[in-house]
Amino acid sequence: MTKTASARKAVAEGAPPARGAVVKKAAPARTAADGKSAPARKTATAKKAAPLKTPAPAKKSAVAKAAAPAKATSTAAKKAAPAKKAASAKKTAPAKKAAKSAPAKTSAPPSGESHTALVRRARRINRELAEIYPYAHPELDFENPFQLVVATVLSAQTTDLRVNQTTPALFAKYPTPEDLAVANPEEVEEILRPTGFFRAKTKSVIGLSKALTEQFGGEVPGRLEDLVKLPGVGRKTAFVVLGNAFGRPGLTVDTHFQRLVRRWQWTGATEPDKIEAAVAELFPASDWTMLSHHVIFHGRRICHARKPACGACPIAPLCPAYGEGETDPEKARKLLKYEKGGFPGQRLNPPQSYLDAGGKPAQPLAAG
C-alpha cells in the first residue's frame, strides 16, 4: 500500500493522516459536493426566478387579455352605435311618414276651422239647400236601372237636358240590354251624335249592354264592385245608379260637386275619390244621396264655375268664397239659370208661389 493510499484509508476511518502524507481530496466528493450544491443553488434560483419572470409576462398577458375585451367592447359599442341609430332612424322614419300621411287622410279644413265647426257648417248648408231645393232629384229621365246607367254614361261632357232629348229615341229602338248589345254601332252613333263624343259613348253603351247580358243575365247589378266593372262606368256613375235605382247611399262626385265642396272649403282635395272620402266623413250615410242632389242643383243654378251669383245665393253667410262672383243682388239675379219665371229672392225659403200645391216647383230652374 502506498502512502497516499494509507492516508486515504486513515482519513476514511477517521484517523488523522500521518505527518508528511499527502492527502488529495477525492475529486468525486468535491465534485459531488460542489456539483450538487451548484446545480441545486442554480435550480433553486431558477425556480425562484422562474415565478418572478413568468408572472410578469403572465400579468402582462392577463392585462392584455383584460384590455382586449374592453377594446373589443369599445369597438363593438362604436359599431353598435350606428346600428342603434339606424334602428332608431328606422323606427322614427315610419312615425314621421305616418305623421305626414295622417293629415292627408283627415286633413285640417282649408278654412282653418276645427273639424267640429266644419261638420256643423257643412250640415247647416245641406239643411238650407234642402229647404231651397225640396224637389232635388236626378235630372236624367229614366224608367229602370238600365236606362239610368246608360243615360248617366251619356251625360259625360254634356248637359242632362241634351241627354234627355236623345235617350227616348235610343230606348225606343233598343229597350233592353240584349237589344243594345247586338246593335249596329253606326246606327247607335247616329242617335248619340248630339251628345258629343258619340263614338266613345257608343262603344261604352254597347259594351256595358254586352256585359250585362253575358255576366248578369240582362239585369243591372246592385253592388258597387260589379257596376264599376262595366265599360264606361266609374264610381260617380255607379253611385248615381245605386242611390237612385236601388236606394243605396252614395256620393255623386261630378264636376259641380267637386267645385262647390272646394269652394265651401269642406276639403282641399282635388281627386274625386279623396273628395268623396273627405265629404263622407262630414255626413251620415243616409244623407249622401240627397246631399249630392242638393249640391249639384245649387251648382247648376246659382254657384256657377266662372261667375257665381253670390248676391243672390241663399247660403252666402256660410260660404267662405263669398265675393268671388257678382255680389250686387240685382246683377246676381240675372246670372241665375232658369227656364221661365224667376228664382226665389228670399235667403232661406222660396216663396210659396214658386211651388205648386204638391210642393214641387211650378217654374223649374233649367239644368246646367
Query: Is it the case that residue 260 has pLDDT exceeding 80?
Result: yes
Written as one string, the DSSP assignment of 193-226 is GGGSSHHHHHHHHHHHHHHHHHHSTT---SSHHH
Query: Is it the case that residue 130 has pLDDT exceeding 80?
Result: yes
Total number of domains constituting the chain: 2
Q: Do residues 124 and 173 share a domain?
A: no
- Contact of 125 with 113, CB cutoff 8 Å: no
39 lies in a domain?
no
- Residue 337 pLDDT grade (very low, low, confident, very high; cuts 50, 70, 90): confident
CATH number at residue 240: 1.10.340.30
Q: Do residues 242 and 267 share a domain?
A: no
The secondary structure of residue 110, as a DSSP letter, is T
Q: Do residues 128 and 265 share a domain?
A: yes
345 lies in a domain?
yes
28 versus 162: the higher-pLDDT residue is 162
Q: Which are the catalytic amino acids? A: 236, 254
Query: Mind listing the pLDDT tens digit for each residue in 7-62?
Result: 555 544 555 544 544 444 444 444 433 444 444 444 444 444 444 444 444 444 44
Q: In whole angstroms, give the CA distance from residue 95 to residue 92.
A: 5
Q: Do residues 299 and 356 share a domain?
A: yes
Which pLDDT does position 108 carry in this prediction? 61
Q: Do residues 131 and 261 share a domain?
A: yes
Q: Do residues 228 and 295 share a domain?
A: no
209 lies in a domain?
yes
Which pLDDT does position 112 carry in this prediction? 81
One-letter amino acid at 35 equals G
Q: Do residues 287 and 335 share a domain?
A: yes
Query: Is it the case that residue 185 has pLDDT exceeding 60?
Result: yes
71 lies in a domain?
no
Q: Do residues 270 and 128 share a domain?
A: yes
Q: Which residues pair with 361 in a beta bridge?
A: 355
Q: Do residues 130 and 268 share a domain?
A: yes
Query: Mind listing the pLDDT tens digit for each residue in 352-362?
Result: 333 344 434 44
CATH number at residue 365: 1.10.1670.10
Enclosing domain of residue 305: 105-135+254-368
220, 248, 276 - which closes a domain: 248
Query: Mind listing the pLDDT tens digit for each residue in 99-128?
Result: 333 334 445 666 688 999 999 999 999 999
- Residue 145 pLDDT grade (very low, low, confident, very high; cuts 50, 70, 90): very high
Q: Which three cell numbers stand for residue 49?
A: 426566478
For the chain, the average pLDDT equals 75
Which pLDDT does position 9 carry in this prediction? 53
Residue with grid cell 243616409, as numbered in its chain = 286
Mean pLDDT, range 136-144, rounded to an integer? 92
Which pLDDT does position 5 carry in this prediction? 54
Query: Is it the case that residue 215 has pLDDT exceeding 80?
Result: yes
248, 280, 297 - which closes a domain: 248
Q: Do residues 228 and 305 share a domain?
A: no
Q: In whole angstroms, give the CA distance from residue 109 to residue 278.
A: 10
144 versus 345: the higher-pLDDT residue is 144
156 lies in a domain?
yes
Which pLDDT does position 51 carry in this prediction? 46
179, 214, 248 - which closes a domain: 248
Query: Is it the case that residue 67 has pLDDT exceeding 60?
Result: no
23 versus 308: the higher-pLDDT residue is 308
Of the candidates 292, 320, 326, 330, the one whose C-alpha atom is nearest the C-alpha of residue 306 is 326
Q: Do residues 224 and 353 share a domain?
A: no
Q: Do residues 242 and 289 share a domain?
A: no
198 lies in a domain?
yes
Query: Is it the case that residue 148 has pLDDT exceeding 60?
Result: yes
- Contact of 134 with 364, CB cutoff 8 Å: no
What's the chain's Rg over C-alpha atoms? 52
307 lies in a domain?
yes
Which pLDDT does position 111 carry in this prediction? 63
37 lies in a domain?
no
Q: Residue 49, Cα to own-chain centre: how many angstroms?
A: 79
